[in-house]
Amino acid sequence: MDWKEPDMFEPAEHGNKPFSIRVPALVVSRGARDQINFLTAMWFTPTGFEPSRMVVAILKRTLTYQFMLERGEFVMAAPTDKMMEIVVLAGAVSGRDVDKWKAGGLTPVQGTKVSVPLIGEAIGNVEYRVVQQIPFDEEMDLFVGEVLATHVRKGAMEGELYREDSNPLLYMGTKYNHNGKPLGKFYAHLAGIERTNYDSPLLKKYLPGKK
Ligand SMILES: Cc1cc2nc3c(=O)[nH]c(=O)nc-3n(C[C@H](O)[C@H](O)[C@H](O)COP(=O)(O)O)c2cc1C
């Protein structure tokens, strides 16, 4: 093997930084006494095709954690880019201090399987039942949610893809100036969708006839 020096890379201070492009989610939960709450989540991953499950890490200190235990069900809502302010609020403030649902002026929509509402303004909502709670570390547990029902905004998707003219919130992150001072959260819009080049030499050779 002709190893090269890693001149094209530079170290990053955050372990998983190259994977910061990911759709943020709102995890909606409901307490035993019917309070509705939601937090902003980025530590999650869909796992498996059928049945599809979701693994999401939830901090023990959050109100969401308490509500997940109280009802054993939750909804994950995919926000639109118009919901960025709500996403920032939900990640910075606890439902113990602020009624975030009311503050965000969100529309509760009845799901089909769980008693937790869908978010009417979201581009998609998924209903889950907690099937596993996996201890992770001092700070958080992993919750595994089994998908019970999926709701996508009418006309927003084609097959597995969002349509080019739809507006999912694609990703968000903090920008810093050259002194390391945070300049606030920034976010990205969906700018275009391209077809994979199946006629490329690589795919023609190894995946012939595949579409
Ligand atoms: C971009 C971003 C991503 C976050 N991801 C998660 C996450 O995946 N899991 C989690 O427990 N908290 C996460 N947080 C922190 C919670 O959103 C935050 O602690 C929230 O205020 C908790 O709300 P709650 O007490 O109402 O449940 C994230 C925060 C931000 C800003």
Domain extent listing, the chain: 17-206
Distance CA 90, CA 113 (A): 24
The second-level CATH assignment, the architecture, of 17-206 is Roll (2.30)
Percentages (nearest 5) of helix, strand, coil residues in the chain: 15, 35, 45
**pLDDT at position 49 over 80:** yes
Range in 2-16, 61-75, 157-171 with the lowest mean pLDDT: 2-16
pLDDT in tens, 98-155: 999 999 999 999 999 999 999 999 999 999 999 999 999 999 999 999 999 999 999 9
Nearest C-alpha neighbor of 73 from the set 129, 22, 18, 5: 129
Which residue type does 203 have? L
Mutate to test the pocket of ligand 1, among 16, 29, 39 (most ligand atoms within 8 A of CB): 39
**pLDDT at position 169 over 80:** yes
Q: Of all protein residues, whose CA lies closest to atom 29 belonging to ligand 1?
A: 91
Whose tokens are 């909502």? That residue is 125
